[in-house]
Amino acid sequence: MTGDGTRTVRAGLPEAEAYAPTLPGPVFAAHYHLPGDAVGPYTYGRDGNPTWSLLERAISELESPGTDAETVVFSSGMGAISAVLLSQLRQGDAAVLPSDGYQLLPALVGRLAGYGVTVRTAPTGEDAQLTALDDRTKLLWLETPSNPGLDVCDIRRLAEAAHARGALVAVDNTLATPLGQRPLELGADFAVASGTKALTGHGDVLLGYVTCRDPRLAAEVRAWRKTVGAIPGPMEAWLAHRSLATLQLRVDRQAATALALAEALRDRPEITGLRHPGLPTDPAHQVAAGQMRGGRFGCVVSFTLPDKERADRFLAALRLVDDATSFGGVRSTAERRGRWGGDAVAEGFIRFSVGAEDPDDLIADVLRALDVASGAASDTAPAAAGG
């Protein structure tokens, strides 16, 4: 299988068996028949599950096709992130993390400091984390594109520099997805993601995963999952696998519409700081174009409105867009990111996640809402069904 569409539709499916479903249903089991010694693929519900195994194989085929990569799935993206950091770092080690990454990373930084790990941070853009590397660095953590600022770093360049100092490299691949970027092919040791977002794409599953090619590293991450019990439910794993079949269709539609929306916003006078890696004028575009695949620059567009009040009026005026957190879903969402705290963004900063709506309808709704927020139009558009 060489095409992304073919791969996503077929990923992780078992061998065909007469009268059996092509994708078996979820296996609900806390324990299994286990005669003799406690060995075998499935011994206890915290150790393994056939539904996880199919999903893990599918994700491995997407993150690192044609290799023996291994994936470990978790109950959430933070479970996956924590597993890498806490399974690899020990007292006296040093780690380098992005200063502009996901907002819960600072909480992990505090936890690591309590364990005696030195953490240095630097921004994603312009490969600034290079300056924080030294011979004590055990792990370099990259998030590219970063959330929510959408900066991009050169994975290959940073991985080579980290490996030269004996450090491992992990890349948060949540925003790009395996179809937009393959960190392991670019030199990373771990590809990590929240499957809650674009991977599953329907806003109904919490999930995370870690993929790596080194069996020893995979075993360490898997042992951490077993120890802390951060396991996904079988229903969530099955829903995630079911959703993978449409990943290429969703990612391509959302990336194309996100770029079109960004282009439509470029000349709006009330908008500053417009970011999308697909824009040729974006500061990250050149690096992104060199490592992100197939013109898939992600579904997120970010920009800043003059103040909190203008941002809130804009969000309230939208009819095809839910005011909700997260990103990557088939229904567009947007939020004033500053309401959560933890991100170094202005009060009027908007993170906009483009869904699978018709591009013309979505862009028209956004432009109308901007007009309403600025007082240039009245909010008289009819509400969308179910919106």
Q: How far apart are CA 284 and CA 299, in angstroms?
A: 15
Positions annotated as catalytic residues are 46, 102, 172, 197
Cα-based distances in Å from 205 to 28, 109, 175, 230, 347: 17, 26, 16, 15, 29
3-state secondary structure of 148: coil
3-state secondary structure of 322: strand
| Both tokens assigned to 149 | 């600022």
**Nearest Cα residue to 86 out of 105, 111, 56:** 111
Q: How far apart are CA 348 and CA 338, in angstroms?
A: 8
SS (H, E, C) 244-288: HCCHHHHHHHHHHHHHHHHHHHCCCCCCEEEECCCCCCCCCHHHH
Decide: 131 and 125 in contact? Cβ < 8 Å.
no
Decide: 132 and 96 in contact? Cβ < 8 Å.
yes
56, with CB counted inside 10 A (0-12, 13-18, 19+), is buried
| Both tokens assigned to 357 | 């709506």
Decide: 277 and 145 in contact? Cβ < 8 Å.
yes
Neighbour order of strands in the sheet with 208-212: 70-74, 208-212, 190-194, 168-172, 137-143, 94-98, 118-122
